[in-house]
Amino acid sequence: GDSVTQMEGPVTLSEEACLTINCTYTATGYPSLFWYVQYPGEGLQLLLKATKADDKGSNKGFEATYRKETTSFHLEKGSVQVSDSAVYFCALLSGGYQKVTFGTGTKLQVIP
Amino acid sequence: DAGITQSPRYKITETGRQVTLMCHQTWSHSYMFWYRQDLGHGLRLIYYSAAADITDKGEVPDGYVVSRSKTENFPLTLESATRSQTSVYFCASSESSSGADNSPLHFGNGTRLTVT
């Protein structure tokens, strides 16, 4: 079945450091890929998405590229801020939202 | 304000009791979903609904019951709570199930349930 594997956290970075959170997936067909962010005490929010190979999703300085050859969708940001501290979930969608598969989440802590 | 609201935010109950978690959305989205979030598992789908009076099981439905008599409400009931149902529960909605550009999942802020 479909699965998403993302790097375990927590990840602790200093402000203005570069961020990469790895995500790889296993799926049949051609899924859509997502990154969701969960701030403390809140629900998940869609951060970015990509629907086909080589697409790049971007939002709020974050970006991720759909790499079919390596089945990856790594999340990157060039300079993190304290306000980016949150849990980040990689997810894939194959056949409708009733079939969305989430990774286990990676907690990011950015220290001043 | 438009949005998706869950109640209560926190709930403590005893093993064997029935408890209902409420979810209300103001967008008139067709699709609604219930997930549970557990460490090491990410989010797992419990039940979903494509429209009023249409519901279906997700990945982990055992021990849960849902109903959808009105489009805007999608309550989740634990008929006889067990300790393994201690979790954070999220309700979500979407205009469609397809994941198209204009229909992302919108999540509520969650209900933290503890079963003692």
pLDDT tens profile A57-92: 999 999 999 999 999 999 999 999 999 999 999 999
- Inter-chain touch B107–A45, beta carbons under 8 Å: yes
CA distances B48 to A82, B53, B61, Å, are 35, 11, 10
**List of chain A residues whose C-beta atoms are within 8 Å of the C-beta of residue B105:** 36, 44, 46, 97, 100
Cis peptide before B8 (omega within 30 of 0): yes
Cα within 13 Å of Cα(B59), Cβ side: 18
Q: Do A102 and B107 touch (CB under 8 A)?
A: no
Give me A26's structure tokens: 């296993």
Sorting pLDDT into bands at 50, 70 and 90, what band is A47?
very high
Q: Which residues of A touch B (CB under 8 A)?
A: 4, 32, 36, 41-46, 49, 51, 89, 93, 96-98, 100, 102-105
Instruction: Render each residue's pLDDT in chain B as its tens digit; 116 residues.
Output: 569 999 999 999 999 999 999 999 999 899 999 999 998 888 999 999 999 999 999 999 999 999 999 999 999 999 999 999 999 999 999 988 776 665 788 999 999 999 99
Residue of A nearest to B90 (CA): A43
